[in-house]
Amino acid sequence: MGDIQRLQRIWDQIPKSVSSQMDLSQREIIEKYMDLFHFGDYFYVIFNTRTTQMEYVSPQLTKVLGYLPDEFRLSLLLENLHADDLPYYYHYEQSAVRFFTQLAPELFLKYKFAYDFRVKTATGIYKRVQQQIVPVYYFPEGGARTLVIFTDLTHFNISGIPKLSFIGMDGAPSFYNVHTSMMFERSPAVFSKKEQEILQLMAQGKKSEEISTLLNRSIFTIRNHRKNILAKSGCKNVQELLVQTIREGWV
């Protein structure tokens, strides 16, 4: 069985939506979701699991991986995934379908999932990227249209096996590191809502002074929040915190 056929069989099991939903245009998808998920150099695609086609590829792809948008297809991605990470790619896609299958229909659009892997660039070097998948429409006959965001994590020097997490949006609970178990166990909230807001700005490279201005809070309040965030995370420094934040899906 070919790689794409193997994935198609997995995606054929995506649950059908029985609740009302809005089929957003490409522009509406970008405006609704894109400001939430990137931490540095990134590109994004709109992917159709029914056709296994990338309906749109953003031009930032060339900066991140060196390929041209019109040549970036699922087959190219699979051919250039690191051999050690490819089994996780299949396993995590299967886990995602299983996760969404057990959700109540009203929660289908309240989750994204994310995992990281290594992929070869057009120049032949490997970069570690995080792939974040946001289902934005479920076809009545099965399958989904998704927004997929690839963020370059290479500069974080992350090692080890890829990690998979399901991140709840709009108040839905999250599930972290589900690759370690066959069960989806709800993860307790690590940070308060305000701490999570500050952490997201930190992940975007904002300094305490900038965060203070953006949130209209004193610099002392922001620094205290940052201290508490670091303590709660169990990390030794901000660099370690940001790596953990990205891989755990804390924002």
Domain ranges, ordered by start, for the chain? 3-180, 193-248
Outline where the chain has alpha helix (H): 3-11, 26-33, 61-65, 74-80, 86-101, 193-203, 208-215, 219-233, 238-248
| pLDDT single digits (tens) 78-128 | 999 999 999 999 999 999 998 998 888 888 888 889 899 999 999 999 999
Write down the pLDDT at residue 39. Answer: 66
Indicate the residue type of 68.
L
Record: fold of 3-180: Beta-Lactamase (3.30.450)
Q: Is 171 left (phi over 0), alpha (psi -120 to 50) or beta?
A: left
Q: Which residues contact 58 (CB under 8 A, 6 or more apart)?
A: 43, 44, 45, 69
To the question of pTM greater than 0.85 for the whole model, the response is no
pLDDT at 217: 92
Confidence of residue 147 (pLDDT cuts 50, 70, 90): very high
Average pLDDT of the chain is 85
Residues 6+ apart with CB under 8 A from 127: 64, 65, 118, 119, 121, 152, 153, 154
Contact 146, 47 (CB under 8 A): yes
The amino acid present at 61, given as its one-letter code, is: L
Return the CATH number of 193-248, one of 1.10.10.10, 3.40.50.11890, 2.30.40.10, 1.20.950.20: 1.10.10.10
Work out the number of other CB atoms within 10 angstroms of the CB of residue 209: 11
